[in-house]
Structure 1
């Protein structure tokens, strides 16, 4: 079905380093990156272009744009969101979506990861010592950072050395008191994100290889979840996942899979035991 067929990887930030080897080995596709393809029109982390849609909606647009740009009927792309974790205080979260599209066979298969494995951070600073502390904390220079004024009308990215960072900082300080510093979340400047993309590629390939028990269409996997895992103390339903719902996007066949890693949830997360 996929063997020896070209597959475009919709990226301008070297994501093919994490994606291509896995797809090539597992599906025997022929991955390539389109020369000159731009993705910034869909949104940038520095808000030069504001993303107007969700990550899932945007990743589809990105993949289809790459396929159209390269005149290829099969493609893959990813899109990420970063921010505060919705449940864990003082923790940052990384959500990454990946989609595989094959127009020849009518396939559109999504996979997602949500993790705290990220160095995502931002801060306003006024002196070099604080900038050094921030940079060391987020893993600079292996991980990139971006500095700017408060309204981001002036910013510096693609900084790869301490000397470049110092020059950029001193230049900004000529006109502002506070300098905004943030992690560069583009994949080619963030090895932590690149490792998550690699894990997601493995997860998506496994989903592609999983076929519907009813119609044999690729991509049979989890599409939704049912909450209500019982509290270990009182047995009341919690907001933790109890059941995974697998569904075929072609014929609609569904299968419910009870969570295997745990049968109850800690009372810490129960609204009755710990209101």
Structure 2
């Protein structure tokens, strides 16, 4: 997958093209003017348009739409975010950003990711104006956007609210009509600086993966995946500690295993037998 001097189109409608182009400035790609694509049709954070399939499904659908809309582009770039309970920390909110480079000729792709706790993803039901104000200040409004809707959050949502005066007026109207208002952080990239930082990190990860090449065919994304199994120092049972890294090329199928500190054994505290 040679990318230097090739053309790429960035698929976005929420101001992410600058972030992505800047993060891949050293790749040699030539960026075409972004096509006008309604990426909201692949799903919205407000839930008004449900996302069909997984985060990866939506990501690749966006990239394919970019290739369809820009027939002269060799590659398409797209991003997709997902927010909810962090996979490692239970009910603490987390965000995962994925940025893909999709090749028209081969259909192969490379993905950069960022999994973070640095997110203000949150929602609440407010019954008085002071609760609205407290939630807004807690999530960083007005630098970070807010979405407002009737109780239950099923929409329609008031979006692009600028400043506390406009927020107060919008919330007051909903409180007067419904007795409560649903508040939700606006996770669209152009309204959420924290998310923009996460996207930038995902693009940096993509740039790194593009530089890591298979030693046989030079396809990118030659990155080792740690595998558990380091033996316990007391009883020899395999533990969850990493023992090696598996490298596998998705283009030519080459596989290599690289041991990690082969002479080291695992702490018994991590052993399912010695410390069940």
TM range (shorter): 0.7 to 0.9
The separation in 1 between residues aligned to 2:31 and 2:239, in whole angstroms, is 43
Q: 1:166 maps to which residue? A: 168
Question: Any stretches of 5+ residues in structure 2 without a counterpart?
Answer: none
Quote the offset at 1:111 in angstroms: 2.5
* Range with greater deviation from structure 2 (173-182 or 191-200): 173-182
Contact 1:243/1:257 (CA < 8 Å) preserved in 2? yes
Quote the offset at 1:81 in angstroms: 0.9
The separation in 2 between residues aligned to 1:240 and 1:200, in whole angstroms, is 26
Count of paired positions: 271
Q: 1:124 maps to which residue? A: 125
Contact 1:16/1:33 (CA < 8 Å) preserved in 2? no
| Alpha carbons of structure 1 residues 121 and 232: separation in structure 2 relative to 1, 3 Å | farther
Contact 1:6/1:30 (CA < 8 Å) preserved in 2? yes
Secondary structure class of the residue paired with 1:256 = strand
Contact 1:144/1:184 (CA < 8 Å) preserved in 2? yes
The separation in 1 between residues aligned to 2:146 and 2:234, in whole angstroms, is 46
Secondary structure class of the residue paired with 1:52 = coil
Quote the offset at 1:22 in angstroms: 2.0
- Alignment map for 1:1-275 (pairs within 5 Å): 1-23=2-24, 25-71=25-71, 72-104=73-105, 106-149=107-150, 150-222=152-224, 225-228=226-229, 243-257=244-258, 267=269
The separation in 2 between residues aligned to 1:242 and 1:257, in whole angstroms, is 9
The separation in 2 between residues aligned to 1:266 and 1:43, in whole angstroms, is 46
The separation in 2 between residues aligned to 1:231 and 1:259, in whole angstroms, is 15
| Alpha carbons of structure 1 residues 106 and 42: separation in structure 2 relative to 1, 3 Å | closer
Q: Deviations over 1:70-109 (max 9, x none)?
A: 2222111111110012332441111111210122355311
Secondary structure class of the residue paired with 2:178 = coil
Quote the offset at 1:177 in angstroms: 2.1
* Range with greater deviation from structure 2 (8-17 or 107-116): 107-116
Contact 1:229/1:265 (CA < 8 Å) preserved in 2? no
| Alpha carbons of structure 1 residues 30 and 196: separation in structure 2 relative to 1, 3 Å | same
| Alpha carbons of structure 1 residues 205 and 87: separation in structure 2 relative to 1, 3 Å | closer
Contact 1:18/1:195 (CA < 8 Å) preserved in 2? no
Contact 2:9/2:33 (CA < 8 Å) preserved in 1? yes
The separation in 1 between residues aligned to 2:266 and 2:142, in whole angstroms, is 43
Question: Any stretches of 5+ residues in structure 1 without a counterpart?
Answer: none
| Alpha carbons of structure 1 residues 182 and 265: separation in structure 2 relative to 1, 3 Å | farther
| Alpha carbons of structure 1 residues 31 and 266: separation in structure 2 relative to 1, 3 Å | farther
The separation in 2 between residues aligned to 1:263 and 1:111, in whole angstroms, is 32
| Alpha carbons of structure 1 residues 85 and 63: separation in structure 2 relative to 1, 3 Å | same
